[in-house]
Amino acid sequence: MNNKLYGNLIFELSHKGRRGYSLPKNVFAEYEVPHAMRRAEDAQLPECDELTVVRHYTNHSANNFGVNNGFYPLGSCTMKYNPIIDEEMANMPQFSSLHPLQPESTVEGALEVCSMLERALCSLTGMQAFTFRPYAGAHGELTGLMIIRNYHESRSDTVRKKVIVPDSAHGTNPASAAVCGLEVVEVKSNTDGLVSLCDLERIVSEEGDSIAAMMMTNPNTLGLFEKNIPLITELIHGCGGLMYYDGANFNPMFGVCRPGDMGFDVCHLNLHKSFSTPHGGGGPGSGPVGVREGLQQYIPVVSPYHGNFAVMMRALAYILSLGRENVKMVGPLSTLNANYVKELLKDVFELPIDDRCMHEFVFDGLKDKSTGVTTMDVAKRLLDYGYHAPTIYFPLLFHESMMIEPTENESKETLDAFIDVMRKIAAEAVAEADVVKSAPHNTPIGRVDDVLAAKHPVVKC
Ligand SMILES: *Cc1c(COP(=O)(O)O)cnc(C)c1O
């Protein structure tokens, strides 16, 4: 891209008086716009010809990286391939041009989509009913905790204000509990990365009467299956609390096992993660919340209308196009892919918990700690080789976390190529550490000062 000609900002290409449009003759020229409705100064708009505008934006769009450009191993986010047919279904004008205030008799097809999706999600999760109103996973967590709070209040039990959250949990879990006016009690992980039963028993014996719920994701944030779930649900139900399932990691359980069968009472799913919606850059999302029988009446209204309908449409198209048989392959294939990558890299990257993982796993930086090359350096060097970086410095349990989630759609060749590059970077870290530490070298912008960017963001020119 020729930056000088096509510019970083469209304003840099502006020439006073340059026009990219022509309008028909103004038939209202005689009409006086009332003074009070006129702006005092001209709007500050860039003035460019059409071709310059087209090239400027087209060239910038080529700097985007998405699942459709290349391998995107961003752990925790389930950046999986979104089949084109799902986009086509969501974009059908019969659905996309509906208005939320239309009379119900004119939107029966859309309502049928909602109810088909609800039935499909109930059968995948073992829940009784779903609300589609939450717009994201975090919004679903808040909704779910409100359901739990409403349930306790309906029994005049107002002392249950505590929510148990594992120390490995996603940050939204404690945040949602706090927003819901509940108090977070952290339960520790043991050395094999699972919830410590010992610590949980202590919490339950000390504060059982004030426990409203326990939030868990399974597989957990380290990509490990929480095999003690039956014992955990027994403990929590035993003291009168409810179990909340954070379904952001539902992908590997797809068609294999169900949170409802594990004893969870309330759950959310991230349709934009496990059910096919492109979700880079923060949206769009949908975090439907499911409840077991007997909790439907506590579902609050957390947004107007029927939720993020286009995301729901993609989810239904995704489920139907896989079909009852293939849906069962999502979990096993995502698990196989993650284990394949992990096993072929664990001699050069530090694997703190050497166990069979589910859909994702976490390295704690390079195995050879003497090189001084950090997880940040490896992530930046991956960009040079045309890969999106994994999730880094999360989860917080390790200093140099690098969380990799390949997802189920990737071919063996793609995984092998990624493994080669990761091994190459590990070798570079030993032979020419400076090249890795000063990466990226091939991207339009070099290494940014992310601390400065966070503390003093410049969001306009
Ligand atoms: C992504 C994620 C969330 C939050 O979901 P959003 O849709 O981003 O709000 C919660 N928990 C886990 C484990 C996640 O990976």
Q: For 214-250, how does the pLDDT look when each residue is reduced to its tens digit (9 = 90+)?
A: 999 999 999 999 999 999 999 999 999 999 999 999 9
Q: What's the CA gap between 139 and 289, in Å, rounded?
A: 9
Residue nearest to atom 7 of ligand 1 (CA): 137
Q: What's the CA gap between 422 and 440, in Å, rounded?
A: 15
User: Poorest-confidence range of 175-179, 252-256, 261-265, 423-427?
Assistant: 252-256
Q: For 94-114, how does the pLDDT look when each residue is reduced to its tens digit (9 = 90+)?
A: 999 999 899 999 999 999 999
Provide the percentage of residues in the chain whose pLDDT is more than 70. 98
Q: What's the CA gap between 205 and 50, in Å, rounded?
A: 70
Residue 453: predicted pLDDT? 85
Q: For 33-68, how does the pLDDT look when each residue is reduced to its tens digit (9 = 90+)?
A: 899 999 999 899 999 999 999 999 998 888 889 899
Average pLDDT over every residue of 306-333: 95
Q: For 192-221, how does the pLDDT look when each residue is reduced to its tens digit (9 = 90+)?
A: 999 999 999 999 999 999 999 999 999 999
**Cis amide bond preceding 304, omega within 30:** no
Residue 173's contacts (CB-CB under 8 Å, 6 or more residues apart) are 141, 165, 215, 217, 246
Residue nearest to atom 14 of ligand 1 (CA): 248
Q: What's the CA gap between 413 and 424, in Å, rounded?
A: 16
Contact 287 CB / ligand 1 (< 6 Å)? yes
Contact 216 CB / ligand 1 (< 6 Å)? no
For a substitution probing ligand 1, which of 167, 170, 277, 405 has the most ligand atoms within 8 Å of its CB? 170
Q: For 147-172, how does the pLDDT look when each residue is reduced to its tens digit (9 = 90+)?
A: 999 999 999 999 999 999 999 999 99
With a cut of 60, say whether residue 390 has pLDDT above it.
Answer: yes
For a substitution probing ligand 1, which of 270, 403, 407 has the most ligand atoms within 8 Å of its CB? 270
**Cis amide bond preceding 440, omega within 30:** yes
Instruction: Work out the pLDDT band at 4, boundaries 50, 70, 90.
Output: low
* Atom number, ligand 1, closest to the C-alpha of residue 217: 13
Asked if 307 and 121 touch (Cβ cutoff 8 Å), the reply is no
Average pLDDT over every residue of 285-290: 97
Residue 1: predicted pLDDT? 45
Q: What's the CA gap between 169 and 171, in Å, rounded?
A: 6
CA of 138 relative to ligand 1 center, distance in Å: 6
Instruction: Work out the pLDDT band at 3, boundaries 50, 70, 90.
Output: low
CA of 168 relative to ligand 1 center, distance in Å: 13
Q: What's the CA gap between 461 and 455, in Å, rounded?
A: 17
* Cα separation values, 284 from 110, 203, 277, Å: 19, 38, 8
Instruction: Work out the pLDDT band at 444, boundaries 50, 70, 90.
Output: confident
CA of 137 relative to ligand 1 center, distance in Å: 5
* Average pLDDT across the chain, whole number: 94
Asked if 345 and 423 touch (Cβ cutoff 8 Å), the reply is yes
CA of 62 relative to ligand 1 center, distance in Å: 28
CA of 147 relative to ligand 1 center, distance in Å: 19
Asked if 216 and 196 touch (Cβ cutoff 8 Å), the reply is no
Contact 138 CB / ligand 1 (< 6 Å)? yes
Residue nearest to atom 8 of ligand 1 (CA): 137
Residue 458: predicted pLDDT? 83
CA of 56 relative to ligand 1 center, distance in Å: 34
CA of 273 relative to ligand 1 center, distance in Å: 9
Residue 459: predicted pLDDT? 80
Provide the percentage of residues in the chain whose pLDDT is more than 90. 85
Residue 450: predicted pLDDT? 83
Residue 6: predicted pLDDT? 59
Contact 76 CB / ligand 1 (< 6 Å)? yes
**The model scores a pTM over 0.85:** yes
Tokens at 457, concatenated: 């963001």
With a cut of 80, say whether residue 2 has pLDDT above it.
Answer: no
Q: What's the CA gap between 398 and 221, in Å, rounded?
A: 12
Q: For 244-282, how does the pLDDT look when each residue is reduced to its tens digit (9 = 90+)?
A: 999 999 999 988 999 999 999 999 999 999 999 988 777
* Atom number, ligand 1, closest to the C-alpha of residue 221: 13
Residue 279: predicted pLDDT? 87
Question: What is the dihedral sign for C-alpha 224, 166, 221, 289?
Answer: positive
* Cα separation values, 283 from 136, 271, 272, 276, 287, Å: 8, 11, 8, 12, 12
Contact 274 CB / ligand 1 (< 6 Å)? no
Contact 311 CB / ligand 1 (< 6 Å)? no
Q: What's the CA gap between 146 and 239, in Å, rounded?
A: 19
Instruction: Work out the pLDDT band at 7, boundaries 50, 70, 90.
Output: low
Asked if 327 and 158 touch (Cβ cutoff 8 Å), the reply is no
With a cut of 80, say whether residue 283 has pLDDT above it.
Answer: no
Residue 175: predicted pLDDT? 97
